[in-house]
Structure 1
Amino acid sequence: MQAFKNRVLWLLFLLLAFSSAQAQELALYEYKQFVSGTDTLHYRILYPKNFDANKKYPVLFFLHGAGERGSNNESQLAHGGKLFLRDSIREQFPAIVIFPQCPKDSYWSNVNIVTEPGGKRHFNFLTGCDPMPPMRLLQNLVKQTRVQKFVDKDRMYVGGLSMGGMGTFELLRREPKRFAAAFVICGGDNVGNAKKYKKVPLWVFHGGKDDIVEPHLSARVVTKLQEIGAKEVKHTVYPNANHNSWDATFAEPALLPWLFSHEK
């Protein structure tokens, strides 16, 4: 019995040590706030190793999903945060990585979500609307970041998952000239918006078994982009993945080389 207790205590110790190590790693993302009037956008920013303000660096904005909304300025790092902390990634792709956080009761994009009694969701993407407050703040943060002397204006990127994938599409249509390339994971958009970002190289990912944001919401955007002669559009469906297709996407060896190879 005592041996069993000792094993449990040892496992708890290892778990706590692992959690503490992860928290310390994520602490490399500096806490920041962008304030405009009475509105605040929390964000975390990771600078390259041996950051030199006299050099020029690419910038990647990453938009989280609905489950990571809030005001703690931490939850948005849940998916993707550790990816950009890998030594191999930081060495091969020295870039500034920014994770903004959407408030709890808001969205990145203009979308009306209708949920049936059984839980099935319908996403109605709106057009011609003013940006949601978090999107407006994000647009201004992009503009503020762009003018920093250490930012390579020709190598700015955006990507996101789920709600953040939808937000990525919206940011692209509102700021199509800002970004050299983008990627969207399990997102969606109104196909009528596609013409606004057809000149931005785009890689779209989705899980074939996604029952939260159904795969056709991505596929129809890709089809429209292909029909209107988009500059470059890639489409990857992971047949056995559900909504968490970001796990497969983050393991995609070609993603970051493809993304960072583009410039305006």
Structure 2
Amino acid sequence: MKKIIPFLICCLTLFSAFAQDISKYKKENFVFANDTLKYRILYPENFDATKKYPVVFFLHGSGERGNDNEKQLTHGGKLFLTDEFRKNYPAIVIFPQCAENSYWSNVEIEEVSGKRFFTFQKSGEPTKSMALLLKLTDQFVNQSFVDKNKVYVGGLSMGGMGTFEILRRKPHLFAAAFAICGGDNPTNAKKYKNVPLWIFHGGLDDVVNPQLSYNVYRELKKLGHEPKYTIYLKANHNSWDSTFAEPNLIPWLFSKQQ
């Protein structure tokens, strides 16, 4: 018991510190017609509206859907709160939250014997959450303090799929993108073949088959554009842990501009 109590105190302290840091992401609502997209936004330290800043949109996975405007920060929220990031990459970071009954990507999911099979659409209308995100993106990047040459997007799992989705719908907006354990219909790749892209996946992923990422990578290579491609051979679905620890991810992302 003497050993457990200090451990619990340490855990509570760390949780409290993280909660305080997360509070730096301001809660916002984007309302269009009768629909609302909740999102959290992190402004750079000493934000000056007369200057121009890069913008990063980060798309969460299916487990963080809802309307609490908090869960979407579970994975990735810490990445942009480090002293190194805040000091070296002053940027605006936006975490939208997908509604519980929606999805970022226009995809059909079938589960057979405990395995999921994804059928990605080649066209069609965006989901409600993606449609709202597209509207938010249009509105936000036109702010005077946004550097339109440095707009980025990334995401994991459902958000990795959403990253490919928003790239094909707005291929000329993003200076670079990264997709973690996602997937897309390879025939869509031609729509974003010119966007610098880094694709990540876990080799042992039993939720989203790593073949889905590889299919996109292979198609882009056929089109003459070879994105960065990293497979963590021993990682399962949570390959985002390895991705967030990738020392070159942020420098690579912010080195790109239109």
Q: Which residue of 2 aligns with 1:235?
A: 229
Q: Which residue of 1 aligns with 2:244?
A: 250
Output the CA distance in 2 between the equivalents of 1:17 and 1:73. 23
Among 189, 197, 202, which residue is 1:202 paired with? 197
How far 1:7 moved relative to its partner?
Answer: 4.3
The residue matched to 2:143 in structure 1 has which SS?
coil
2:229 aligned partner, one-letter code: H
Output the CA distance in 2 between the equivalents of 1:149 and 1:35. 20
2:127 aligned partner, one-letter code: M
Q: Which residue of 1 aligns with 2:149?
A: 154
Output the CA distance in 1 between the equivalents of 2:257 and 2:7. 47
Output the CA distance in 2 between the equivalents of 1:210 and 1:8. 34
Q: Which residue of 2 aligns with 1:225?
A: 220
Q: Which residue of 2 aligns with 1:122?
A: 117
Among 46, 53, 57, which residue is 2:49 paired with? 53
Aligned length: 258
Output the CA distance in 1 between the equivalents of 2:235 and 2:13. 31
Output the CA distance in 2 between the equivalents of 1:11 and 1:46. 31
How far 1:128 moved relative to its partner?
Answer: 1.5
Output the CA distance in 2 between the equivalents of 1:126 and 1:150. 35
1:168 equivalenced with 2:159 (yes/no): no
How far 1:131 moved relative to its partner?
Answer: 0.5
CA deviation digits over 1:50-92, x for unaligned, max 9?
A: 1111111000000000000010000000001011000011111
Q: Which residue of 2 aligns with 1:89?
A: 85
Output the CA distance in 2 between the equivalents of 1:16 and 1:251. 24
2:244 aligned partner, one-letter code: F
1:214 equivalenced with 2:209 (yes/no): yes
**Runs ≥4 in structure 1, deviation > 4 angstroms?**
none
Pairs within 5 Å for 1:171-190:
171-190=166-185
Among 38, 41, 46, which residue is 2:34 paired with? 38
The residue matched to 1:73 in structure 2 has which SS?
coil
Output the CA distance in 2 between the equivalents of 1:99 and 1:218. 23
Output the CA distance in 1 between the equivalents of 2:33 and 2:234. 46
Please provide the CA RMSD for this pair: 1.0
Output the CA distance in 2 between the equivalents of 1:96 and 1:77. 15
TM-score using structure 1 length: 0.96
Among 69, 74, 77, which residue is 2:73 paired with? 77
Output the CA distance in 1 between the equivalents of 2:232 and 2:11. 31
CA deviation digits over 1:95-149, x for unaligned, max 9?
A: 1000000011110011000001x21110000122100010010001111111111
Output the CA distance in 1 between the equivalents of 2:158 and 2:31. 23
How far 1:229 moved relative to its partner?
Answer: 1.4
Bigger radius of gyration, 1 or 2? 1
Point out where structure 1 has 5 or more consecutive residues left out of the alignment: none
The residue matched to 2:228 in structure 1 has which SS?
strand
CA deviation digits over 1:180-204, x for unaligned, max 9?
A: 0000000000011000000111000
1:252 aligned partner, one-letter code: E
2:232 aligned partner, one-letter code: Y
1:239 aligned partner, one-letter code: L
1:241 aligned partner, one-letter code: A
Among 139, 143, 159, which residue is 1:144 paired with? 139
Point out where structure 2 has 5 or more consecutive residues left out of the alignment: none
Output the CA distance in 2 between the equivalents of 1:206 and 1:262. 22
Question: How many percent identity over aligned positions?
Answer: 60
How far 1:12 moved relative to its partner?
Answer: 3.0
How far 1:172 moved relative to its partner?
Answer: 0.3
